[in-house]
Amino acid sequence: MSKVVIALANGCEEIEALTVADVLFRAGVSVIKASINPTTTVESSHKVTMIADTTFDAVDFSDVDMIVLPGGMPGTNHLQANKALTDKVKEFAAAGKFVAAICAAPKILGALGLLEGKRACCHPGFESELTGAEVVMDEPAVRDGNIITGRSMGCAIPFALMILGALEGEEKEAELSHKIVWMPIKEY
């Protein structure tokens, strides 16, 4: 079974964090919600209080397959300012392990030089911060090798399903997608 750490910071977008956790839990993936705060209490960008499973510095990453960075402001900035987190993200990317970021958080990957020559997406307005990336803004989520990016909270389900597919295979992704009745967004 795959194991994922979702990094939580004050000011994060709760839909992006909790949708990923929920989708992966439903698929049987082990998820650790890890606060970068000194405590497990995290307040989202919309003042929703969340209780993480642990703090980031207490996580044993030896068997973790992926780190997920939810967006939201100022949560993304808090994640980016956390050296332990950014060092771990760089370590994962260099080792070929998965790193996923949604909304504003792909800017962290751009700043770390992890998007060079890769396709990536983000929340509209952050495109210039995806340093080195081929920016794709017409897809809800994009996977390029071990990097997965998502556009925004409205794309949290396809982003989470893409994560599931990367970790557990497309068959598992399709199975869960059918169960939760997710459908692509139509033009209206």
Confidence of residue 183 (pLDDT cuts 50, 70, 90): low
pTM of the entire predicted model:
0.95
Number of domains in the chain: 1
DSSP 40: S
In contact, 26 and 15? CB cutoff 8 Å: no
In contact, 40 and 7? CB cutoff 8 Å: no
Task: Report whether pLDDT(34) > 60.
Answer: yes
Q: Catalytic residues, which ones?
A: 103
Instruction: Tell me whether residue 169 is in a domain.
Output: yes
Q: What are the start-end ranges of the H helices in 30-187?
A: 75-81, 83-94, 106-111, 156-168, 170-180
Task: Say what the pLDDT of residue 1 is.
Answer: 85
Instruction: Tell me whether residue 186 is in a domain.
Output: no
Task: Say what the pLDDT of residue 144 is.
Answer: 98
Confidence of residue 182 (pLDDT cuts 50, 70, 90): low
Q: Higher pLDDT residue, 6 or 177?
A: 6
Task: Say what the pLDDT of residue 178 is.
Answer: 86
Confidence of residue 179 (pLDDT cuts 50, 70, 90): confident
What CATH number has the domain bearing residue 82? 3.40.50.880
Task: Report whether pLDDT(47) > 80.
Answer: yes
Task: Say what the pLDDT of residue 184 is.
Answer: 62
Instruction: Tell me whether residue 73 is in a domain.
Output: yes
b/e burial code for range 116-146 (CB count within 10 A of at least 16 → b): eebbbbbbeebbebbeebebbeeebbbbeeb
Q: State pLDDT tens for residues 115-164.
A: 999 999 999 999 999 999 999 999 999 999 999 999 999 999 999 999 99
Instruction: Tell me whether residue 187 is in a domain.
Output: no
Instruction: Tell me whether residue 188 is in a domain.
Output: no
Instruction: Tell me whether residue 56 is in a domain.
Output: yes
DSSP string of 43-82, one letter each residue = E-TTS-EEE-SEEGGG--GGG--EEEE---TTHHHHHHH-
Task: Report whether pLDDT(188) > 70.
Answer: no
> CB atoms < 10 A from the CB of 104, how many?
27
Q: State pLDDT tens for residues 64-103.
A: 999 999 999 999 999 999 999 999 999 999 999 999 999 9
Instruction: Tell me whether residue 185 is in a domain.
Output: no
Instruction: Tell me whether residue 131 is in a domain.
Output: yes
Confidence of residue 186 (pLDDT cuts 50, 70, 90): low
Task: Report whether pLDDT(56) > 60.
Answer: yes
**Residue-range definition of the domain harbouring residue 72:** 3-180
**What's the chain's average pLDDT?**
95
